[in-house]
A and B are shown apart, each in its own frame.
Chain A
Amino acid sequence: MDTTISDIVSAKTMLPVKTQPTCRQLCLFLSEYAAWLLGCGATCIRLEKNVNRIAEAFDKHVDMCIMPRHIHLTVSSHDRHISFTAISSIRCKAISFDINTRLSRLSWEIADEKIDFTQVQHRFEVITKTPPANKWLVLFLASAANASFCRLFGGDLLAMGIVFVATLAGFYLKQILTENKVDVRIVFIICAFVSSVLGATDGLFGLGTTPGVAIGTSVLYLVPGIPFLNSFSDMLDRHYVCAFSRFMDAMILTACLSIGLCGGMFMMNVDMF
């Protein structure tokens, strides 16, 4: 049997008897939760904090081993007499701030409001079914952001317009290729090539005064900023294996971006140095 007095009645949380999950139930839930949270782009410290917060709210103890593609999780009762272990693979989803935020919020709701475990599971199900952000809106905002970067780097209005169109085309292509499950490294090379060729419009037709800025900033939307930031966050928190894994992922994507950009510049006869 997987139940003790501490499982049934929690003096700390004062939850009704029926709301307390067993170690097994909580472990299975937390392994799913952790797999989703890490898959959505959370850092290791965020994962540890959220999982510990939930476990403490249910008067349980949790130990974790976070690997780049798997999470090994053991939940034990307060007196450590009962424990349950689960290993789950990280959900390979696109980075989603929305799901990430909602999962973090769920952990606070559990800790603050002491919501019922069945409610927790229901809310988790709802969160995991969150639809992705509107792709047209994302397309427009990414293009506008990249055009703004062009301006920040000293590009004129014409260069901004060219960067906007180049990003629009490249990002749209990225969305289509990603939907069709094309390898992300191939996607980065193709999109960087397309964006850099279109970004070279300024120089090709002699339209504006800042063609270099236009071609340079036309691929900025592909820079893997979140993996780089997460890798440094993990490194600061001494999760070196995850930090190195994320850093290598980000470096490979950056290399693919560079290949595409160099290909585009070579085809457009743009001097690199």
Chain B
Amino acid sequence: MNVPLITWVCIAVAMIMLVLIRIFLSAHEHMKESNKLTSHSHVAVARPRHKILEIGNEREEFFAPGDRLPGNPDYYGDDDN
């Protein structure tokens, strides 16, 4: 076996092992947490939701030139001082 193939196999196996171990650990944690919840608590904790898609407008974008000024909807100026 040559060096590139050994390297590739090592990296690929390491990544597969990493994924499998992480899946196992997270499943274990999840089981522990669900056991705790069922045995101790009956109060649902509200968790903040995260929207996948959200519609914004140009005023919330990052670039500043062309921002509309408050109270003057028709004005789009390059107010660089």
Contacts and interface: CB of A to CB of B under 8 A. Distances in A.
Interface of A: 42-43, 45-46, 49, 53, 57, 97-98, 100-101, 104-105, 108, 111-112, 129-131, 133-134, 137, 169, 172-173, 176, 194, 197-198, 200-201, 204, 233, 237, 267-269
A233 B63 CA distance: 8
Interface residues of B, number: 26
A98 B49 CA distance: 13
Interface in B49-80: 50, 52, 56, 59-64, 67, 70, 80
A131 B4 contact: no
Interface of B: 2-5, 7-8, 11-12, 15, 18-19, 22, 47-48, 50, 52, 56, 59-64, 67, 70, 80
Given A133-B50, A237-B80, A268-B8, A105 B64 contact: no
A197 B8 contact: yes
Nearest to B16: A169
Contacts of B12: 198
Given A173-B18, A198-B15, A104 B4 contact: no
A104 B62 CA distance: 8
A267 B3 contact: yes
13 contacts: A43-B63, A46-B63, A101-B60, A101-B61, A104-B62, A108-B59, A108-B60, A129-B48, A131-B47, A197-B7, A237-B80, A268-B7, A269-B2
Contact of A269 (B3, B18, B48): B3
A237 B59 CA distance: 19
Nearest to A194: B11
Nearest to B68: A108
Contacts of A237: 80
B62 A130 contact: no
Given A112-B70, A237-B80, A267 B7 contact: yes
A269 B4 contact: yes
B21 to A, nearest CB: 10
Contact of A42 (B2, B5, B48, B62): B62
A70 B79 CA distance: 25
A183 to B, nearest CB: 19
A267 to B, nearest CB: 4
A134 B47 CA distance: 13
B3 A105 contact: no
B8 A201 contact: yes
Contacts of B63: 43, 46, 233
B59 A104 contact: yes
Contact of B8 (A100, A133, A200): A200
A100 B8 CA distance: 40
Nearest to B47: A131
